[in-house]
Structure 1
Amino acid sequence: MRIAFYGSSLLSSYWNGAATYYRGLLRAMAALGHEITFYEPDILGRQAHRDIAPPDWARVVVYAADPEGLARVAAEAGGADVVVKASGVGFADDIVLERVMAEAAPGAVRVFWDVDAPATLAEIGAVPDHPIRRALPGLDLVLTYGGGAPVVAAYRSLGAREVTPIFNALDPDTHFPVAPDPHFAADLSFLGNRLPDREDRVETFFLGPAAVMPKRGFLLGGAGWEERALPPNVRHLGHVGTDAHNAFNCSALAVLNVSRASMASMGFSPATRVFEAAGAGACLITDAWEGIGQFLAPGREVLVARDGVDVVEILSDLTPERARALGEAARARVLAKHCYAHRAREADACIARAATLRREVPVG
């Protein structure tokens, strides 16, 4: 099928945490025979911070973030078999949704792909006339980055016809073990941009433990932390391009995952860094959230911390040998069960069912 996908950015991970999700999933869907065009607005300096070249498995169209640019790329939706509007495009999201779905051909499958379902649901739940809520009855399918049963139930209560989580996963051709790099050496590393609903949790699970473990080395990657006061044993790298993620994950004793508050409260929403770290064979410590065991086994494949005190205790007891064993077990699990090839087949089946239903019972 010809898929027109309107998202934040495929080419740049700069202020764009969904980049590796898009890349892994859409590359795997292209391998199933789909013809993919990805439309991304030229905003936030992302084009100056590209970390991949335009791939051979998708056509990428960068458009001006203005009415004329949007009109030009929205018109191309009319030639697609599947039209996808992702959440968090970053430019006129509600207008993009309205325009591309209006331009879609009558027989095309219309999909809203939510890469931040807890935040989206919190935004639209209390606003009966929200543009996304108005659009849901005319859409064939809602796919989500995570959230499990709670997200499915919430979307259905708002009028969505079909809802399926397509979780993050591993692209084994992109994330894999490499030799440690002294530049990324640390006892505990965390990679994540500074965001309002993440900062307090980073304080609890990362900066707080660093403050009480002054002899241990902590490494912080991600944009936005430049103005934040940090303990002296925390080294800040700034933005870390995806081409350096393997070295980042393979050079520390352990790598930390800290979910944003909304993701943690909803559960069943493992971040991309969980699978990137596991794919690289890193020892992963994660904050606690419901559904972890669906992806990695606590104590055998991942270490789970309820708070900063747990992080300190885990790190104090962790040996290189145990870290290595945990990382190897996690890598084996994700290779067997949680690769983007698995997710692509799930998404492909959802789209095929939606196409059949649209032919039988037209939506809208």
Structure 2
Amino acid sequence: MKLVVLGLSLSSSWGNGHATTFRALLKAFAARGHDVLFLERDVPWYADQRDLTDPDWCRLAFYRDLDDLHGWASDVAQADAVIVGSYVPDGVEVGRWAQRTARGVTAFYDIDTPVTLAKLARGDHEYLSPELIPGYDVYLSFTGGPTLRHIEQHYGSPAARALYCSVDPHGYRPTGAARRWDLSYLGTYSDDRQPTLTRLLIDAARAAPDRRFVVAGPQYPDTIDWPANVERIDHLPPSEHAAFYSASRWTLNVTRADMIARGWSPSVRLFEAAACATPIVSDRWDGLDRLLAPDREIVLADTTADVLAALDRTDAVAIGEAGRARVLAEHTAAHRAAELEAHLLAATSATRAAA
């Protein structure tokens, strides 16, 4: 299969989870024998922070603007499938062009489904408009559960299918690093995540000054009052994620408000941390218990006291190992690549049957 992907970024993981998601998925998809071309908008904030420039499992190319993108029309037209991702700059125009140009199936890959739906509900069509959704043969969604039917019934998608994030087990595994922190968190700053991060990590750090904490990720404002026992790392490239998690006795998963409201929206960090056998403390949302079993493969926390209790547990290693086993059995990039292939083939069959 020839696949063209127009995504937010493959080259830079700075400030976004798209790059690592695409890397794991497309590397595994290529390993199934498929040819992949990734087209990325050349923007300065990623150009200055690239940590992947020449992947050996796909072609990576950059375009300056919409006019420059038209130079790739032949590749798009000849592809068996074309995927447009969420948060692509000028995504509505890119989507219209892809739907007009492609002769194979077209798909929208929403790595931000709850955020996207919230934006659509308030008339914000930054990268997707309601009119475009029926034109995509399949809507691939980071969110599963009831949201899929909503996308089909409310927006007219011919087929909305879950395609959760995943993990590359070769890049994310226990490294044997010495434990440096009692609780870690890896994630870009977000206004709606910050209250939870404050409650579950910063307040826990203040209550346990003898323990060590760390927050890694960019864009945190200078106004945050970090306790002395919270270390800050501004940016951590994917090559250092496994060592970071392996050096953590526990790690924290914090979910954006829109994703909590929709449920069924696992973060890529959830699977990456679990693959490193790092036990996870997470906030709570519908569908999480279908992915990892509470108190056996993950620990759920609502309050600062819940986090402090987790840090005192004696079964942390067992929880981490159980989480890793579950993720390797169900949530690797190889699993997702097989699902992606099945979704694209099903869409191809459906379009041929309708012709």
TM (normalized to structure 2)?
A: 0.94
2:76 aligned counterpart, secondary structure: helix
Counterpart of 2:342, as a letter, is A
- Is residue 244 from structure 1 mapped to residue 240 from structure 2 by the alignment? yes
Tell me how far 1:127 sits from its aligned partner: 3.5
Within 5 Å, which residues of 2 pair with 1:59-98?
59-64=59-64, 66-73=65-72, 76-89=75-88, 91-98=89-96
- Structure 1's consecutive aligned runs of 4 or more residues displaced over 3 angstroms after TM superposition are 73-76, 126-131
Give unmatched runs, 5+ long, in structure 2.
Answer: none
Matched residues in 2 for 1:87 and 1:44: separation?
19
**Where does residue 18 of structure 1 map in the other structure?**
18
Matched residues in 1 for 2:290 and 2:225: separation?
36
Give unmatched runs, 5+ long, in structure 1.
Answer: none
Identity %: 35
Tell me how far 1:71 sits from its aligned partner: 2.8
Tell me how far 1:226 sits from its aligned partner: 5.0
**Where does residue 119 of structure 1 map in the other structure?**
115
**Where does residue 48 of structure 1 map in the other structure?**
48
2:48 aligned counterpart, secondary structure: helix
Matched residues in 1 for 2:351 and 2:149: separation?
22
Q: Is the 8 A contact 1:181 1:247 kept in 2?
A: no
- Is residue 34 from structure 1 mapped to residue 34 from structure 2 by the alignment? yes
Q: Is the 8 A contact 1:75 1:100 kept in 2?
A: no
Matched residues in 1 for 2:125 and 2:231: separation?
46
Within 5 Å, which residues of 2 pair with 1:1-364?
1-64=1-64, 66-73=65-72, 76-89=75-88, 91-105=89-103, 108-127=104-123, 132-145=129-142, 147-156=143-152, 157-181=154-178, 185-227=180-222, 228-315=224-311, 317-319=312-314, 322-362=315-355
Q: Residues 175 and 352 (structure 1 numbering): CA distance in 2 closer, same or farther, change over 3 Å?
A: same
Q: Is the 8 A contact 2:92 2:125 kept in 1?
A: no
Matched residues in 2 for 1:43 and 1:310: separation?
42
Counterpart of 1:97, as a letter, is G
User: Which has the higher mean CA deviation after the structures are superposed, 269-278 or 207-216?
Assistant: 207-216
Matched residues in 1 for 2:178 and 2:157: separation?
47
Cα RMSD for the two superposed structures: 1.8
Matched residues in 2 for 1:265 and 1:311: separation?
22
Q: Is the 8 A contact 1:14 1:239 kept in 2?
A: yes
2:3 aligned counterpart, secondary structure: strand
Tell me how far 1:40 sits from its aligned partner: 0.9
Matched residues in 2 for 1:138 and 1:226: separation?
40
Matched residues in 2 for 1:197 and 1:158: separation?
26
Tell me how far 1:356 sits from its aligned partner: 0.8
Matched residues in 1 for 2:93 and 2:63: separation?
15
Q: Is the 8 A contact 1:143 1:163 kept in 2?
A: yes
Matched residues in 1 for 2:33 and 2:303: separation?
45
Q: Is the 8 A contact 2:86 2:112 kept in 1?
A: yes
Matched residues in 2 for 1:323 and 1:12: separation?
33
Q: Residues 248 and 290 (structure 1 numbering): CA distance in 2 closer, same or farther, change over 3 Å?
A: same
Q: Is the 8 A contact 1:201 1:260 kept in 2?
A: no
Counterpart of 2:263, as a letter, is G
Counterpart of 1:242, as a letter, is P
Tell me how far 1:218 sits from its aligned partner: 0.8
Matched residues in 2 for 1:181 and 1:8: separation?
35
Q: Residues 232 and 155 (structure 1 numbering): CA distance in 2 closer, same or farther, change over 3 Å?
A: same
Tell me how far 1:235 sits from its aligned partner: 0.9
